[in-house]
């Protein structure tokens, strides 16, 4: 009874906070937990006409859908593209918010500092559909403003979006522009939490501005960097579905077709839900294995991991 009264008292006391949690809990339940039942289609001969009951009544076929996926002539290319694009984004985009946060933190003019913050994180709120339209207007070989300028300067145009050698770098640069400012907010908050006495002690010891950044700011950021890096490693097979879907075209399928676009194409356009679910489940398992392995590796180095 005492426990019941205590729980009831806590619910009444913090009812507004619990009420604020309701939308997030509903979102997680509907979009994260309920779809788990759909994973059974990876092991069944499911067809959309079977409806929801088909998740439980469709014929059991074991790992046949997985064999179909891995036996596809596109499987190797898709997995390679996914890892390469995601790896490029980790190598070039992951450090960018850290550098930007350090640069913003060093600005002495408060008005200029806040203006730079606002300008850099606003692109995060622009959808990839809009950004795709902007890039097409700039880079289109027929009417792109950049190609019109290049034709006047060098006498010919360049098919940026149809060039397999350039397309992956367009993905990296466009996502960096879109997300670098938003990502820097977390690091700026972490920098604000560093004890100012450490900077004072370093200054007394004769450390200049650069050494204070190297020996105080960066070590203070390390726990935050570690956690975010682990989360990014877990998403190694997330190469940017919406971005690629908006920007890619048949000439660059060979370097741009990734696991998520394959799942979309096979599941939504061909109706092969079992194969699409198998590919998606494979992606989830790899992501789980990556975060567990990376977390153990980080803990071996003496840093705190996710758990």
For residues 88-93, give the mean pLDDT. Answer: 93
Query: Considering Cα of 245, then 248, then 249, then 252, what sign does the dihedral take?
Result: negative
Residue 19 is assigned to a structural domain of this protein: no
Closest to 122 (Cα-Cα) out of 130, 92, 167, 225:
130
Q: CA-to-CA distance for 112 and 1, rounded, in angstroms?
A: 59
Q: What is the largest CA-CA distance in the chain?
A: 85
- What's the domain range around 205? 40-300
CA distance 59 to 24: 35
Torsion of CA 300, 304, 305, 307, to 10 degrees: 110
What is the overall mean pLDDT for the chain? 87
pLDDT given at position 236: 84
Instruction: Pull the structure tokens for residue 158.
Output: 């360049």
Residue 35 lies in a domain: no
Residue in this structure with the two tokens 């606002």, named with its chain if needed: 118
Confidence (pLDDT) at 1: 47
Determine the pLDDT at residue 206.
Answer: 81
Question: pTM for the complete prediction?
Answer: 0.85
Residue 20 domain-assigned? Answer: no
What end-to-end distance do the CA atoms of the chain give, in Å?
34
Phi first, then psi: give them for residue 8, nearest 5 degrees: -60, -40
Taking each continuous run of H as one helix and of E as one strand, the counts in the chain are: 17, 0
What is the tally of structural domains in the chain? 1
At residue 261, the pLDDT reads: 92
CB 46 within 8 A of CB 273: yes
Take residue 135 and report the two structure tokens written for it.
């890039």
Q: To 5 degrees, how large is the angle CA 293–CA 188–CA 114?
A: 150
Q: Model confidence over 267-290: pLDDT tens digits?
A: 888 888 889 999 989 988 888 888
pLDDT tops 90 at residue 12 = no
Phi, psi of 81, rounded to the nearest 5 degrees: -60, -40
Instruction: Give domain status of residue 293, yes or no.
Output: yes
| Backbone dihedral angles phi then psi of residue 60, each to the nearest 5 degrees | -80, 125
Report the distance separating Cα 238 and Cα 85, nearest Å: 9
- For residue 305, what pLDDT is reported? 65
Q: Which residues pair with 60 in a beta bridge?
A: 44
Whether 48 has a pLDDT exceeding 90, the answer reads: no
pLDDT tens digit sequence for 219-269 = 889 888 888 888 888 788 888 899 999 998 888 989 999 999 999 988 888
Whole-number pLDDT of residue 272: 86
Residue 303 predicted with pLDDT over 80: no
Residue 31 counted as domain residue:
no
> What's the pLDDT tens digit per position in 208-228?
778 888 888 888 898 888 888
Q: How far apart are CA 108 and CA 106, in angstroms?
A: 6
Alpha-carbon gap, residue 76 to 254, rounded angstroms = 11
| pLDDT over threshold 90, residue 94 | yes
Average pLDDT (28-54) is 84
On the question of pLDDT at 306 being above 70, the answer is no
In a domain, 27, yes or no: no
Residue 5 has pLDDT above 70, yes or no: no
The share of the chain scoring above pLDDT 70, in percent, equals 96
Q: What is the pLDDT of residues 130-155, one digit of tens each?
A: 999 999 888 888 888 888 888 888 88
Asked, for residue 111, whether it belongs to a domain, the answer is: yes
Q: Which sign does the torsion angle of CA 54, 55, 56, 58 carry?
A: positive
User: Are 185 and 121 in contact, with CB atoms under 8 Å apart?
Assistant: yes
In angstroms, how far is CA 114 from the centroid of its own chain?
A: 25
* pLDDT computed for residue 84 by the predictor: 94
Beta-bridge mates of residue 44: 60
The alpha carbon of residue 242 and the mean position of all alpha carbons in its chain are separated, in whole angstroms, by 11
Average pLDDT value for residue range 18-35: 90
Q: Per the domain annotation, does 97 fall within a domain?
A: yes
Q: pLDDT for 150-172, tens place per residue?
A: 888 888 888 888 888 889 999 99
Average pLDDT for residues 84-110, to the nearest whole number? Answer: 91
35 pLDDT above the threshold of 90: no
Q: What is the CATH number of the domain that holds 221?
A: 1.10.3720.10
Determine the pLDDT at residue 184.
93
pLDDT of residue 271: 82
């Amino acid at each position: 009874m005492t426990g019941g009264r205590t729980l009831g008292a806590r619910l009444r006391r913090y009812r507004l906070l619990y009420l604020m949690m309701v939308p997030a809990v509903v979102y997680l339940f509907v979009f994260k937990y309920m779809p788990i039942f759909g994973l059974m289609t990876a092991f069944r001969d499911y067809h959309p006409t079977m409806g929801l009951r088909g998740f439980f009544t469709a014929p059991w076929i074991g790992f046949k859908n997985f064999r179909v996926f891995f036996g596809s002539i596109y499987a190797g290319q898709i997995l390679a593209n996914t890892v390469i694009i995601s790896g490029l984004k980790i190598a070039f985009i992951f450090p960018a918010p850290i550098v930007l946060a350090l640069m913003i933190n060093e600005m002495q003019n408060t008005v200029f500092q806040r203006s730079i913050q606002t300008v850099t994180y606003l692109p995060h709120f622009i959808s990839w559909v809009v950004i795709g339209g902007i890039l097409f207007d700039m880079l289109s070989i027929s009417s792109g403003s950049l190609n019109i300028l290049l034709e006047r300067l060098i006498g010919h145009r360049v098919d940026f979006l149809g060039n397999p050698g350039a397309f992956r770098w367009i993905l990296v640069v466009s996502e960096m522009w879109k997300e670098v400012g938003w990502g820097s907010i977390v690091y700026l908050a972490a920098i604000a939490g560093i004890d100012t006495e450490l900077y004072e002690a370093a200054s007394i010891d004769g450390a200049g501005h650069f050494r204070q950044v190297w020996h105080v700011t960066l070590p203070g950021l390390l726990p935050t960097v570690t956690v975010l890096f682990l989360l990014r490693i877990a998403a190694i097979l997330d190469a940017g579905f919406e971005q690629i879907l908006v920007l890619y075209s048949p000439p660059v399928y060979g370097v741009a077709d990734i696991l998520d676009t394959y799942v979309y194409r096979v599941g939504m356009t061909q109706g092969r839900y079992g194969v699409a679910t198998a590919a998606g489940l494979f992606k989830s398992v790899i992501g789980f294995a990556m975060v567990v392995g990376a977390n153990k590796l980080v803990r071996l180095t003496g840093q705190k991991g996710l758990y």
